[in-house]
Amino acid sequence: MALSKEITTQSGMSAKYHRVGTLYVAKDRDLFISVHSYKDSSYKQHAPLYETEYSFSFKDLENYYTNDTVLTGIYNLLKTIPVFKDAEDC
């Protein structure tokens, strides 16, 4: 699972394929999600073009968890932030 949306990274490069690289849950119940961004899906086996970390409260995830998988909930949560608004699942 990943997200598809063309964005311009902070380094000025275009990236269209974004997937969760790492997920940390801190003991104070905060989530830290590292998103790896690639030029497109054909580059997903290579080093990411860009990596960004986002933080949420665990309560935020509870609002987007769909009884499917935790990972689906994480991608749904990521789509609530402006950079991934209107991103498509892929």
Distance of CA 86 to the CA centre of its chain: 13
User: What pLDDT score does 66 carry?
Assistant: 64
pTM: predicted TM-score of the whole model, two decimal places: 0.88
Around 66, how many Cα atoms within 13 Å sit in the side-chain half-sphere?
Answer: 9
Q: Where are the alpha helices (DSSP H) in 1-90?
A: 58-64, 70-78
DSSP-derived letter for residue 59 is H
Cα distance between residue 48 and residue 70, in whole Å: 23
Tokens for 18?
Answer: 């974004």
Q: What is the pLDDT of residues 56-83, one digit of tens each?
A: 988 887 777 666 678 888 999 999 999 9
Q: Is the pLDDT of residue 27 over 70?
A: yes
Tokens 């665990």 locate to 58
